[in-house]
Amino acid sequence: MNSDKIHKLEKFNIKIEDRRIFIRLGYGTSSGNVNDQTKKIVLKAKNKLPSLLQPTAVFKILDYEETNKHPIFKDAKKVALCICTIGIGLEEASSKLLEKNEILDGLILDTLGSEAAEDVARQTDKYIANIAKEMGLWPSKRFSPGYSIWDIQDQAYLFNILPAEDIGVRLTDSFMMVPRKSVSFRINFYEDKNKTSRSFS
Amino acid sequence: MNKPVLFEKMKSAVIEGNKHEAEFLAQNAVENKMELNEVIEKGYIPGIQKAGDLWESGEYFLPELISSAECMTSAMKILQPELEKAGLSTKSLGKVVIGTIEGDIHDIGKNLVASMLAANGFEITDLGANVKLEKFISKSQEINADFICLSSLLTTTMVGQKKLITMLKDKKLFGHIKVMVGGAPVNSQWARDIGADGYAENAMTAVSAAKKLI
């Protein structure tokens, strides 16, 4: 029996550093390389963000015994499973720009979307890690299906446990998430601090 | 304004990523009944070539290159229909069918490649994302394509690149239709292993790789 309730987060204060966008656009770490036109488009796109983002996350915390006991959950006392997204609005806006041959605007908006999705995942990760600490447990870093020994097909397990449709996320036959700017992950909660590589400063 | 000055302005508009200027000059060329193939060859193409050179020398980054490609495409949207009306055609470097393989819904990288190839004189048929392998082949046969460009962001879908080459071999089309592959998990070793004709790490190298295969 799954003991924990479904948690849903809807209040996010998305913060995107220009530096991260410029790195993703290939400028490297020196912002001196960035031309004025690109800076202007980034600013314009950032101003559009509030109307394009619908950041939400759902997660659930399971006892190890309630999981499918996949090796990636080994030694965990509890496991948090999570799906988060920025919604479909930004993707649609970006696609429209690309169709209109406004390729750079579309690319920059898409890049902002990737960073926004990452920020939602980061904030949710932090929220879950705090729950682990309140339980007196040590949270692992977050890991997503498709990385390490966790096969991409295990997305289906997360989507079986979590009501992804409540936040507008679905899984394709090839285990991709729609909207694309979505992140799924798990965090193991350990009794032994030495089991996690997460840093606690 | 004499032709060399005008051509220089067109070239500069593309290099600087000034879309309005590129469109304005193209419209002017049409209205002044200039020889449009000459306009393209002496005005706009040198601009996109120079942008590519600046990228190769490290002076331009991806956004500048995309801006230049956008200018080129915008100008061509004005010039091409006029050429067609006059029963003329632009010089095409080759017909390309491009898409992201079935199972993969990511397409921003593929879109950039398509945009850069189009700006550099290739005729693009973009099948979009999540495209069945059979569709790549049937469309290529239908339009008599020179290249198929296959993008894949995932290790789970990159195997489709290998499968498509096998399918082309089975249909005795391999060699007639060249295959270029790319995408985040793809590298030159993989391209060689599966027998692809070309590999591109990014949108700009896709142009040079495609030109090599002509």
**Token pair in block for residue A23:** 């790195």
**Within a domain: A185:** yes
Which chain B residues are closer than 8 Å to A182 by Cβ? none
A98-113 pLDDT, tens digit each: 989 899 999 999 999 9
A76: domain CATH number is: 3.40.109.40
Tell me if A183 sits within 8 A of A118, measured CB to CB: yes
pLDDT at B87: 85
Whole-number average pLDDT of chain A: 94
Confidence of residue A3 (pLDDT cuts 50, 70, 90): low
- Which one, of B151, B159, B132, B157, lies nearest residue B202 by Cα? B151
pLDDT at B206: 92
CA distance to A80, B74, B121, per residue, from B210 (Å): 47, 22, 11
Tell me the mean pLDDT in the region B66-73.
94
DSSP string, B110-145: HHHHHHHHHHTTEEEEE--SSB-HHHHHHHHHHHT-
Structurally, chain A folds into a number of domains equal to 1
A vs B, Cβ pairs < 8 A, gives: 68
Our CA-based measurement puts residue B67 at a distance from the nearest CA of chain A, in whole angstroms, of: 6
- Which one, of B38, B47, B63, lies nearest residue B14 by Cα? B47
A22-42 pLDDT, tens digit each: 999 989 877 678 999 999 999
Q: How far apart are CA A174 and CA B160, in angstroms?
A: 13
Per DSSP bridges, beta strands B94-100 and B122-126 are parallel
Tell me the mean pLDDT in the region A139-152.
93
Q: How far apart are CA B166 and CA B159, in angstroms?
A: 11
A38-94 pLDDT, tens digit each: 999 999 999 999 999 999 999 999 999 999 999 999 999 999 999 999 999 999 999
Q: How far apart are CA B113 and CA A103, in angstroms?
A: 11
Give the residue numbers in A contacting B (CB under 8 Å), as ranges. Answer: 25-27, 33-35, 37-38, 41, 94, 98, 101-104, 106-108, 110, 146, 152, 172-176, 178, 180
Tell me the mean pLDDT in the region B21-29.
97
Task: Name which of B69, B103, B104 is nearest A103 (Cβ-Cβ).
Answer: B69
> In which domain, by residue range, is A73 found?
6-195
Q: Give me the domains of chain B, ranges plus CATH numbers.
A: 3-85 (1.10.1240.10), 94-213 (3.40.50.280)
Whole-number average pLDDT of chain B: 93
> Among all residues of chain B, which has the CA nearest to that of A39?
B63
**Within a domain: A99:** yes
Interface confidence (ipTM) of the complex: 0.86
- Burial environment of residue A152 by CB neighbours within 10 A (0 to 12, 13 to 18, 19 or more): middle
Reply yes or no on whether the pLDDT at A2 is more than 60: no
Task: Name which of A37, A107, A172 is nearest B105 (Cβ-Cβ).
Answer: A172
B70-90 pLDDT, tens digit each: 999 999 999 999 998 888 877
Tell me the mean pLDDT in the region B178-206.
93
**Within a domain: A201:** no
Question: What is the pTM assigned to this prediction?
Answer: 0.89
Best probe of the A interface among B80, B101, B111, B112, by most A CBs < 10 A, is B111
Reply yes or no on whether the pLDDT at A1 is more than 50: no
**Within a domain: A175:** yes
Give ∠ CA A150-A152-A158 in degrees, rounded to 5: 80
